[in-house]
């Protein structure tokens, strides 16, 4: 038996006994795992695959369930307000994924909407190129949708698969610089008879056995052929890039209240990871600058208002993949100037109790809780 066929067979046998068969978007309406060639609704799979980009399955599941209850079809998502989309995504991170999914649904309907139904999938595209034209969909996401929904032989290469294949061949090169070889290997191993099951098995192997730390090599169907296991140190693979120190910045934030007790928030521009979300205004502290001066200056530059910077409300650290931030938040009293969105989409005065109606970055949840606790101790304690 050829090497690739032997590996494919052993992986599929392992998956039948140990795979994750309860993933809701990969089951039929009757709750059963689909038979070979049986079609599945591509839309729930599309949503799930985008959510799973850089996020683990157990985190995604409740978000996906709420999403499908609110936006059960492509049409429902396409017609939704972007703010509602972002609010439903709140806490899942990488918010550009939500915006692209929303934009993708609108683009999809323009192209395929005539006669498109949710129980007949004949009009859904079955080629890689069509899916790659949609925002936020790369080759691995497209391959996973096509293999999962239509049982078509398209390879995948997500984070779990990169780790499994890098260990299988003990690649001396970090996956980011070895994608061509890993893509070729994924396609070589792919079962043409059962691509849906094979791709799911490959992801399940990485998620449950070939884990980043403490892999369960004794339970792996590929351990005898795995070069990393043979080396005696499988955790040394995939080879990591040389670590780089993340830049650190201090951000001065102003929670601005007016005489009516309303708080000022602004909506970020639709760009970057947090585009379209709401936030409390502020900006970077300059070298040698007092944080109170930072806040006063940023609010004047970004909103054209004058404030009196008061006591500190909260200070918190938040790490992103590309930088570390410390938010130093002060209560401020509005003094003069009509707030202008000079560096944002729009600004609003809202009642503090209304803040949960707006999608905020995760780092703002503690700021909101601290504000409510300061203004209304009993409510703030409950909210925290």
The catalytic residue positions are: 49
3-state secondary structure of 337: coil
**Rounded distance, CA 98 to CA 112, Å?**
21
3-state secondary structure of 107: helix
CA 236, 175, 103, 121: dihedral to nearest 10 degrees? Answer: -90
Question: What are the residues whose beta carbons fall under 8 Å from the beta carbon of 299, sequence distance 6 or more?
Answer: 254, 256, 281, 282, 305, 306, 307, 332
**Rounded distance, CA 19 to CA 15, Å?**
4
Phi, psi of 362 (to 5 degrees): -60, -35
Place of tokens 């300059």: 286
Please report, for residues 30, 94, 144, the alpha-carbon distance to residue 49 in angstroms, rounded to integers and kept in the order given: 22, 14, 8
Question: What are the start-end ranges of the H helices in 52-127?
Answer: 57-70, 74-78, 82-89, 96-112
What tokens appear for 228 in the block?
């990393």
**Eight-class DSSP state of 218:** G
**Eight-class DSSP state of 73:** S
Q: What pairs with residue 330 in β-bridges? A: 254, 312
Q: What angle do CA 66, 71, 74 make, to 5 degrees?
A: 140
Question: What are the residues whose beta carbons fall under 8 Å from the beta carbon of 196, sequence distance 6 or more?
Answer: 26, 34, 36, 147, 148, 151
3-state secondary structure of 331: strand
**Rounded distance, CA 29 to CA 12, Å?**
24
Cβ–Cβ under 8 Å, residues 170 and 231: yes
């Amino acid at each position: 038996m050829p090497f690739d066929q032997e590996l494919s067979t052993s992986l599929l046998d392992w998956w039948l006994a140990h795979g994750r068969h309860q993933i809701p978007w990969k089951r039929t309406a009757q709750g059963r795992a689909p038979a070979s060639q049986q079609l599945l609704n591509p839309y729930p799979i599309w949503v799930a695959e985008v959510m799973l980009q850089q996020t683990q399955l157990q985190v995604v599941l409740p978000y996906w369930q709420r999403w499908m209850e609110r936006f059960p079809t492509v049409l429902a998502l396409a017609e939704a307000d972007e703010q509602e989309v972002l609010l439903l995504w709140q806490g899942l991170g990488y918010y550009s994924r939500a915006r692209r999914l929303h934009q993708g649904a609108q683009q999809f309907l323009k192209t395929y909407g005539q006669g498109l139904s949710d129980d007949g999938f004949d009009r859904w595209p079955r080629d890689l190129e069509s899916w790659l034209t949609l925002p936020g969909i790369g080759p691995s996401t497209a391959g996973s949708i096509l293999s999962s929904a239509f049982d078509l032989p398209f390879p995948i290469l997500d984070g779990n698969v990169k780790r499994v294949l890098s260990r299988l061949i003990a690649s001396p090169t970090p996956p980011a610089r070895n994608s061509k070889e890993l893509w070729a290997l994924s396609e070589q191993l792919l079962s043409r008879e059962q691509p849906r099951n094979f791709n799911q098995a490959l992801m399940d192997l990485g998620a449950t056995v070939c884990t980043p730390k403490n892999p369960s090599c004794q339970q792996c169907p590929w351990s005898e052929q795995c070069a990393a296991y043979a080396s005696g140190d499988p955790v040394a693979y995939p080879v990591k890039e040389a670590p780089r120190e993340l830049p650190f910045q201090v951000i001065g934030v102003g929670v601005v209240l007016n005489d009516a007790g309303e708080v000022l928030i602004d909506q970020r521009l639709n760009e970057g990871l947090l585009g379209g979300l709401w936030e409390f205004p502020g900006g970077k502290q300059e070298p040698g600058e007092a944080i109170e001066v930072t806040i006063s200056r940023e609010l004047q530059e970004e909103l054209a208002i004058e404030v009196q910077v008061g006591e500190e409300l909260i200070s918190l650290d938040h790490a992103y993949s590309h930088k570390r931030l410390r938010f130093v938040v002060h209560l401020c009293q509005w003094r003069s100037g009509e707030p202008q969105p000079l560096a944002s989409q729009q600004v609003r005065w809202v009642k503090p109790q209304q803040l949960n109606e707006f999608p905020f970055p995760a780092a703002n949840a503690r700021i909101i809780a601290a504000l409510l606790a300061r203004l209304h101790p009993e409510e703030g304690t409950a909210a925290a």
